[in-house]
Homo-oligomer: A and B are copies of this chain.
Amino acid sequence: MKKKPVSIKSIAEHLKISVTTVSFVLNGKGKEKHISDLLIQKVLNYAKEVNYTPNQIAQSLRTGKSNILVFMVEDISNSFFSKLARIIEDIAYSKGYKVIFCSNENNDEKSIELIRLFKFRQVDGFIIVPSPGIKSVIQELLDENIPVVLLDRYFSDLDCNSVVVDNEQATYNAIQHLIDNHFKSIGFITTDSTQTQMTDRRGGYERAIAEAGLVSNVLVIPYVESSAGTSRDSIKKFIIEVENRDAVFFATNYLAQTGLKVLKKNAPHLINKLGMFTFDDNEFFKIHTPTISAVSQPMVEISTEVMKILLPLLQRKEANESPKRVVLQGKLKIRESSLAASN
């Protein structure tokens, strides 16, 4: 049987006093309304005894505050996003905010549906890894003065807070490192995404290759295939079956994972010979043989910057100041897979 929830009304009935009196006491206005200390105590004790908790939805309708933030990522099962989620959750929790997560699968329809849903459920702010086509929906949030910070990627023609890594420079540095280690035929494996984080990585590759007078070799995997793992055949052709290919840069963590599987299965003799570098670090790259070089995004710094932008906005009722665009530097984690010695 469904238990009747404890209400102000049922407390009033039990104590044989008016609903108004109970309401004043529970809203901390007992003194102000000249209710006796004895009665105040009696109401508070009984409310505690029956485990009364105010109807927070009604409360949220009054105050407009929920202390809930939404962190919408592309895919919560991608370790880059799940680790970031955990750090942001910890920082927010220490400031009195709960964070809820959801995945948009980089799909606009799903993004929009989720943003609308949470807006109506009156969350206090959004941290969003945006899918490609939701610029206007982000603009709507800004127009309604709802705090938003974009993460990992942004829209160059939208005035919105964002925290990203300098993908172009980090990739350039990694490719430069491979060149310094005498690799000459450096392939680049990426997805067909046209979002900033991916075009910038490719841009960094092209710049380093052009400056060194080398030839650019890019394998573009359709996004749907890249996460589904059915990209093995084309990666196999690109890495193993090209003569003189001596190094490869994986533009995402899951592409590296697929690449390592392909090598393990089809060309184990190449694992220690091929130069390898990947975007996004992972604990397992440190224990792989050889250890895998990676561009590491500064997770704690990213999360801290996001919350540094968001927290003041949450306190304020009035419009955003000019948006902040924070660009952080990725760090090269040089390991065995990219050193000349293994060439």
Chain A residues with a Cβ under 8 A of chain B: 1-3, 5, 53, 55-58, 60-61, 66, 68, 70, 75-77, 79, 82-83, 85-86, 89, 93, 98-103, 110, 113-114, 116-117, 120-122, 143-145, 257, 260-261, 264, 282-284, 286-289, 318-319
Contact = CB atoms under 8 A, between A and B. Distances in A.
B77 A85 contact: yes
A303 to B, nearest CB: 12
A302 to B, nearest CB: 14
A5 B288 contact: no
Contact of A121 (B101, B121, B144, B288): B121
A57 B61 contact: yes
A7 to B, nearest CB: 13
Contacts of A93: 110
A85 B103 CA distance: 9
A177 to B, nearest CB: 23
Given A61-B58, A144-B2, A261-B286, A103 B89 contact: yes
A101 B98 contact: no
B98 A117 contact: yes
Contacts of A85: 76-77, 101
B53 A116 contact: yes
Nearest to A268: B289
B99 A102 contact: yes
B286 A288 contact: no
Contacts of A145: 1-3
